[in-house]
Amino acid sequence: MDRQRIMIAGAIVAYLALLSLIGVWSARRSRRSSDFYLAGRRLGLLTAALATMASIMSGFVFVGGPGLFYSVGLGSFWIVISASFTGAMMCWLLARPLHTMAADAGCLTIPDVILVRYGCRFSSGFAAVAILLGVLGYLATQLLALGIVLAGVLGTSIWLGILLGAFVLVLYTTAGGMVAAVYTDVVQGGVMLVSTSVIFGYALSAGGGFDGMSAVILSQAPELLSPWGLVGPVTCLGWFSLFALGSLGQPHVVHKMMMIRDVRLLKHFPWILAVCMTVCSLVWLGVGLSVKSLVFQGDLPALAHPDDAIISFLHARAPAWLGALAYAGIVSAIMSTADSFSNIGAGVLARDLPRVLGRQGEPTVQRSRTFSVLVFTFALIFALSVKGLVAYAGILGFGIFAAALTPLLAVGLNWPAANFWSARASLIAGTVAAVAGEAMSRLGLYPLQIPPACLALLLSFIVFLGIGLMPKRCAPGSA
Q: What does the DSSP 8-state code read for residue 415?
A: -
pLDDT digits (tens, 9 = 90+) for 83-127: 778 888 898 899 889 998 888 888 899 999 999 999 999 999 999
CB 51 within 8 A of CB 270: no
> Which CATH number describes the domain made up of 3-474?
1.20.1730.10
| Spans of all domains in the chain | 3-474
Least confident segment among 158-167, 260-269, 404-413, 468-477: 468-477
CB 181 within 8 A of CB 173: yes
Nearest to 62 by CA among 258, 314, 255: 314
Nearest to 423 by CA among 178, 191, 34, 130: 130
The pLDDT score that the predictor gives to residue 281 is: 87
Higher pLDDT, 4 or 170: 170
The pLDDT score that the predictor gives to residue 360 is: 72
Distance CA 75, CA 71 (A): 10
Distance CA 332, CA 59 (A): 8
The pLDDT score that the predictor gives to residue 431 is: 93
Over residues 340-350, mean pLDDT: 89
H helices of 318-364, in order, are 320-347, 353-356
The pLDDT score that the predictor gives to residue 183 is: 86
Distance CA 195, CA 34 (A): 33
CB 449 within 8 A of CB 238: yes
